[in-house]
C-alpha cells in the first residue's frame, strides 16, 4: 500500500523584500495547508545551514501585536540570513502554537482575564504547545539540507527536528524583546515550556 507523501512541492519564485532578496518555495501538506521556505543562497547539500523554523502569527506579523515576539523574530531572521548570505526560514501554517486563529483569539481573551498562555491552552482542551515539526523536517530534506544551526530558544523544537532525521549541529538563542504587553507570555514560555529566554 502506497503512503501519501507528507507534502508536495508546488511553486518557486524570487522574493525581493526590504530585508533582502530570497527565493520562496511553496509546499502543500495532506490537509491542503500551504507552507513556504524562504531561502538565501545555495543550501542544497549544505552542512550547518542557518535555519529558522517559524510558525505563522497573523496578529504579530501583520498587525504588529506586542502580545508576542513573533513578528520581531521573523524580521530578525530575515535580516540575519541576508547578512550571512545563506540559510532557510521554514514558515509553517501553525497559528497560535498549532491551535488555529479562532482559538488563539480565545486565548487572548483568557489572558485578559488573568490566565497565562499555557493555562489557557489546557483549559481549552489543548496541550501547552500543539505544534509539530514533521512538515519542517520534510521541507528541509526536500531542499537537500544536511545539517542545521537552528535559530531558536525552544528546546522541544530542537529535539523534535532531530527525532525526524535532521541533524542539529547547534543553535543560536533566538527570542524577542520583552515589553509591557508580553511579559507574562515570555515568562510562561520560559518557566512552563522550557524556552531558553
Catalytic residue set: 129, 131
The CB density around residue 134, as the number of other CB atoms within 10 Å, is 15
Contacts of 94 (CB under 8 A, 6+ apart): 55, 56, 130, 131, 132
C-alpha span between 56 and 59 (Å, rounded): 9
In angstroms and rounded to an integer, the radius of gyration of the C-alpha atoms of the chain is 17
Burial call 64-92: b when 16+ CB within 10 Å, e when fewer: ebbbbbbbbbbebbbebbbeeeebbbbbb
**3-class SS at 149?**
strand
Torsion of CA 63, 67, 70, 73, to 10 degrees: 110
Amino acid at each position: 500500500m502506497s503512503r501519501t507523501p507528507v507534502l508536495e512541492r508546488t511553486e518557486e519564485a524570487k522574493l525581493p523584500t526590504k530585508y533582502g532578496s530570497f527565493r520562496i518555495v511553496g509546499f502543500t501538506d495532506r490537509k491542503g495547508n500551504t507552507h513556504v521556505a524562504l531561502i538565501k543562497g545555495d543550501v542544497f547539500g549544505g552542512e550547518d545551514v542557518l535555519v529558522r523554523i517559524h510558525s505563522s502569527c497573523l496578529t504579530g506579523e501583520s498587525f504588529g501585536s506586542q502580545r508576542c515576539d513573533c513578528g520581531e523574530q521573523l524580521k530578525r531572521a530575515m535580516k540575519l540570513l541576508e547578512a550571512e548570505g545563506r540559510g532557510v526560514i521554514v514558515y509553517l501554517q501553525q497559528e497560535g502554537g498549532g491551535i488555529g486563529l479562532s482559538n488563539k483569539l480565545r486565548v487572548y481573551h483568557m489572558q485578559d482575564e488573568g490566565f497565562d498562555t499555557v493555562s489557557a491552552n489546557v483549559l481549552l482542551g489543548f496541550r501547552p504547545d500543539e505544534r509539530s515539526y514533521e512538515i519542517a523536517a520534510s521541507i528541509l530534506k526536500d531542499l537537500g539540507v544536511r545539517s542545521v544551526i537552528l535559530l531558536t530558544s525552544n528546546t522541544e523544537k530542537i529535539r523534535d527536528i532531530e527525532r525526524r532525521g535532521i541533524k542539529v549541529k547547534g543553535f543560536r538563542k533566538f527570542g524577542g524583546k520583552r515589553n509591557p504587553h508580553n511579559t507574562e507570555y515570555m515568562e510562561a514560555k520560559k518557566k512552563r515550556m522550557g524556552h531558553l529566554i
